[in-house]
Amino acid sequence: MEQPIISVQDATKIYGGGFLSTSKPFVALDRFSLDIYESQAKIVTIAGESGSGKTTLANLVLGFILPSSGKIMYKGQDVSTMTREQRRIYRKEVQAIFQDPYEVYNPFYRVSHIFNMVVRHFNLAQNKNEAQQLIEDALNVVGLRGSEILEKYPHQLSGGQRQRIMVARAYMLRPRLIVADEPVSAVDASLRAMILDIMLKLRDRHHISFLYITHDLSTAYQISDKMYVLFQGTTVERGNAGKIIENPRHPYVQELIDSIPVPDPKMKWNTNITLPPEEVMRMKSSVGCRFYPRCAKHMDICTRAFPEYTQVEEDHEVACYLYQ
């Protein structure tokens, strides 16, 4: 059996509620599991709205935070107990691109700083020429030329260029996995396609997997292979991305997909949806289905325990009592 490059095992992240703390503990991510294998590059979407825990998961996988319980394993090695050298290899193989392509540039330095950091700290090149060649090659993959951008300051570039440079930076390390946290949420429609296209290219030609974190189900549908839909820290539906979006089973996912505005004036929203009062929306149960207060089809059993995952079709599982 092949060892997964990243294996998230029952990861739970709880904020607050510590010693001397007055705030109630808040479960940001609840028993999340996921394996990504090196042999078959995939784009895995983590979809969810604000507060669903998707960014928490990204931070866990990148080692920025540690899980409260459960494990994040990189090739069989727990991320929290790595030696310096192991961490260097893990950093090299698990890279990231972020939502705001402006934020990730230190305004003090030119664009080349981003690449120099990587070359220096991962010992990618023996000399300057070699480094130059590496940077140029990486930039070419995303359709840029070094002479055009390296000596510029980040504010002199367009949003699309900035994001493509970040992809080039990640690519330079030849990672096995790139965590892409909302990479297209802050760019214009025309650039969105360009970035997504580069992601597909990296998957198909360079066999790099992606953990695509997004709130946008339609782009997820267009590019991803596998999908996990999160709601308040829990995974409500998981499996093949196409199957989930074409045929959502969980009432929450159905509501979500139904709410995406259809770009056709002839197909206007015909039903009105109403959200329950604020108190109900804020009610957070730690046992049972988190969607219970908002669910139109809720049953008594829903509050007892979190539903087991039911396989509704091949490669499509849902955590809902309606299907048990």
Partner 1 sequence: MASDQKVLEVNDLNVHYFTPRGAVIAANAVNLYVKEGEIVGLVGESGCGKTTVAMSILQMVSAPGRIVGGEIKIEGQNIVNLPEKELRKIRWRKLALIPQGAMNSLNPVIKIREQMEDGITAHEKVRGVALRDKVFKLLNDVGLPERVYNMFPHELSGGMKQRVCIAMAVALNPVIIIADEPTSALDVVVQRVVAQTLLDVKTRLGVSMIMIGHDMGLQAQMVDRVAVMYAGNLVEVGPVGSIFEHPYHPYTRLLIDAIPSTKQKKSLKVTEGLTHDLRNPPRGCCFQFRCPFVRDACREKPPAFKQMAPDHFVACVQY
Partner 2 sequence: MAVLATNSNTQAAARRVNIWDTPWLNAKFVTGSSIIVLVLLFGLLGPLFWNTDLAFTASSPVNLPPMWDKGGSPEHPLGTESNGRDMLAQLVVGIPASLKVGLLAASIGMGIGILLGSLAGYLGGWTDHIIRTITDSVITIPSLMVLISIAAYVRMPDTTAMALILALFAWPGPTRLIRSQVLTLRERGFVRMALLSNVPALEIMLFEMVPNMLPWLAASLTGGISGAILGATGLEALGLGPTRVPSLGTIINYALNSSALVRGMVWWWLPPIITLVIIFTAFFLMTVGLDEIANPRLRGYGNGK
Q: Which residues bind partner 2 (CB under 8 A)?
A: 62, 64, 87-88, 91-92, 95-96, 98, 100, 103-108, 114, 117-118, 121-122, 169
Note whether 170 and 96 are within 8 A (CB): yes
Nearer to partner 2, 182 or 225 (CB): 182
Nearer to partner 2, 74 or 306 (CB): 74
- The least distance separating partner 1 from the CB of residue 91, rounded to whole angstroms, comes to 30
Structure-token match 């050298």, residue found: 85
Question: Which option in partner 1, partner 2, none does residue 88 bind, with CB closer than 5 to 8 A by kind?
Answer: partner 2
**245 near partner 1 (CB under 8 A):** yes
Question: Which option in partner 2, partner 1, none does residue 256 bind, with CB closer than 5 to 8 A by kind?
Answer: partner 1
Segment near partner 1 (CB under 8 A); pick from 3-11, 104-112, 252-260, 283-291: 252-260
Segment near partner 1 (CB under 8 A); pick from 7-15, 126-134, 271-279, 312-320: 271-279
Classified as helix, coil or strand, 30 is strand
Fill in the DSSP letter of residue 321.
G
- The least distance separating partner 1 from the CB of residue 255, rounded to whole angstroms, comes to 6
Task: Print the binding letters for residues 130-159 with partner 1: x by CB under 8 A, - otherwise.
Answer: -------------x--------------xx
Cβ–Cβ contacts within 10 Å for residue 306, how many?
18
Residue 22 to residue 291: CA distance in whole angstroms: 26
- The least distance separating partner 2 from the CB of residue 183, rounded to whole angstroms, comes to 12
Note whether 53 and 233 are within 8 A (CB): yes
- The least distance separating partner 2 from the CB of residue 199, rounded to whole angstroms, comes to 18
What H or E segment, with its residue span, contains residue 259? helix 251-259
Q: How far is CA 164 from the centre of its chain?
A: 17
Single out the residue of 10, 197, 308, 313 in contact with partner 1 (rule: CB under 8 A). 197
Nearer to partner 1, 38 or 216 (CB): 216
Single out the residue of 200, 285, 292, 322 in contact with partner 1 (rule: CB under 8 A). 200
Q: Which two tokens stand for residue 123?
A: 């010992």
Phi then psi for 262, rounded to 5 degrees? -85, 125
- The least distance separating partner 1 from the CB of residue 190, rounded to whole angstroms, comes to 5
- The least distance separating partner 2 from the CB of residue 119, rounded to whole angstroms, comes to 9
Cβ–Cβ contacts within 10 Å for residue 262, how many?
10
β-bridge partners, 94: 177
Closest alpha carbon to 159 in 102, 197, 208: 102
Considering only residues 51-110, where is the footprint of partner 1 by CB under 8 A? none
What's the chain's Rg over C-alpha atoms?
Answer: 21
Strand order through the sheet with 26-36: 26-36, 6-15, 69-74, 77-78
**49 near partner 1 (CB under 8 A):** yes
Phi then psi for 71, rounded to 5 degrees? -135, 150
**301 near partner 1 (CB under 8 A):** no
Cβ–Cβ contacts within 10 Å for residue 171, how many?
21
Closest alpha carbon to 136 in 113, 115, 158: 115
* Chain contacts with partner 1 (rule: CB under 8 A): 49-50, 143, 158-159, 188-190, 192-194, 196-197, 200, 215-219, 221-223, 242, 245, 255-257, 259-266, 268-269, 272-275, 277-278, 281-282
